[in-house]
């Protein structure tokens, strides 16, 4: 066994070469551990084993108001057409951009309870009301902003600035993936229309690892960006580039060690 005389003789290539055996063992153990965890179907160290395996989250920006769909406001209907009370305008900053004293507008649609659960749904959704017992309607969540973009950020990642992990990122982090070669979190968009922006913060990973970020799938061109060769670059040409790079690295190693 050849020993190095001093630390000065330990080049980067020499270090990696002498460490290859140990690094390979660690990498193999990591891969085997990941496959074992995937085969178990759930991740360890949870207080309760997760029941959900997959999540489909539909976010429809600019959709109908909740007070016309699931959230009836009897008091608002009672005050329909009347001016907003002045004390309400004074105590809420979100009305600062409203000029004058606007009138209140109640929902023109009727609501009924449906299913054994008695879920309240408006007349606008007669088909959805037939499966009311399969729905969970949450009315306890709200935000203090009336600006669209910060509100969308808040809905998707829990902060007005949009710098936190999104719901899909947390699902990827919590549920894991059965295949490390495929994304655990994919995104389908309907395109940009009616001035509704689509920001990457809506499916960003925030402070989580980048593997938990959403991978957008496109409906035209390449389904996933940066997988196909750029225009004007052939597969053979890229292969030649890699071969040239490998030759240069090998030559540098032979020259410098």
The larger pLDDT score, comparing residue 136 to residue 162, is at: 136
- Write the DSSP string, 127-192: TGGGGGGG-----S---S---HHHHHHHHHHSSTT--S--HHHHHHHHH--S-TTS-S-EEE----
Per-residue pLDDT at 88:
73
Per-residue pLDDT at 38:
47
Residue 12 has pLDDT above 80, yes or no: no
Distance CA(203)–CA(175), nearest Å, equals: 17
The larger pLDDT score, comparing residue 68 to residue 8, is at: 68
Per residue in 227-249, pLDDT (tens digit) is: 888 888 899 998 999 999 999 99
DSSP helix, strand, coil percent of the chain (3-state; round to 5): 40, 5, 55
Per residue in 45-89, pLDDT (tens digit) is: 566 676 777 889 888 877 788 999 999 999 999 999 998 887 777
The highest-confidence range among 69-78, 90-99, 196-205, by mean pLDDT, is: 69-78
Per-residue pLDDT at 33:
58
Locus of tokens 């084993």? 49
Per residue in 19-41, pLDDT (tens digit) is: 555 555 555 555 555 555 444 54
Distance CA(153)–CA(45), nearest Å, equals: 30
* pLDDT-derived band at 223, boundaries 50, 70, 90: confident
Q: State what percent of residues in the chain have pLDDT above 90.
A: 33
Q: How far is CA 61 from CA 70, 105, 156, 163, in A?
A: 16, 21, 11, 19
Contacts of residue 163, defined as CB under 8 A and 6 or more positions apart, other chains included, come to: 157, 201, 204, 206
Per residue in 154-191, pLDDT (tens digit) is: 888 888 888 899 999 998 998 888 788 888 899 988 76
Radius of gyration of the chain (CA): 28
Average pLDDT over every residue of 137-143: 86
Q: State what percent of residues in the chain have pLDDT above 70.
A: 75
Distance CA(216)–CA(222), nearest Å, equals: 11
Token pair, residue 8, equals 């000065």
């Amino acid at each position: 066994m050849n020993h190095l005389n001093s630390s000065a003789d330990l080049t980067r290539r020499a270090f990696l070469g002498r460490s290859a055996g140990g690094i390979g063992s660690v990498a193999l153990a990591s891969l085997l551990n990941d496959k074992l965890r995937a085969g178990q179907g759930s991740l360890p160290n949870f207080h309760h084993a997760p029941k959900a395996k997959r999540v489909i989250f539909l976010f429809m920006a600019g959709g109908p108001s909740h007070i016309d769909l699931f959230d009836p406001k009897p008091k608002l209907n009672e005050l329909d057409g009347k001016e907003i009370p002045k004390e309400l305008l004074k105590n809420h900053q979100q009305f600062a951009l409203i000029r004058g004293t606007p009138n209140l507008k109640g929902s023109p649609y009727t609501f009924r309870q449906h299913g054994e659960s008695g879920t309240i749904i408006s007349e606008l959704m007669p088909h959805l009301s037939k499966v009311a017992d399969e729905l969970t309607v949450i009315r306890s969540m709200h935000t203090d902003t009336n600006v669209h973009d910060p509100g969308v950020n808040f809905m998707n990642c829990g902060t007005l600035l949009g710098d936190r992990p999104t719901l899909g990122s947390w699902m990827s982090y919590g549920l894991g993936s059965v295949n490390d070669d495929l994304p655990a979190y994919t995104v389908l968009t309907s395109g940009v229309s009616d001035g509704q922006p689509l920001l990457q913060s809506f499916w960003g990973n925030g402070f989580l690892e980048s593997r938990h970020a959403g991978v957008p799938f496109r409906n035209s061109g390449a389904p996933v960006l940066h997988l196909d060769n750029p225009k004007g670059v052939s597969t053979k040409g890229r292969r030649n580039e890699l071969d040239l790079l490998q030759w240069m690295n090998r030559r540098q190693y032979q020259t410098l060690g």
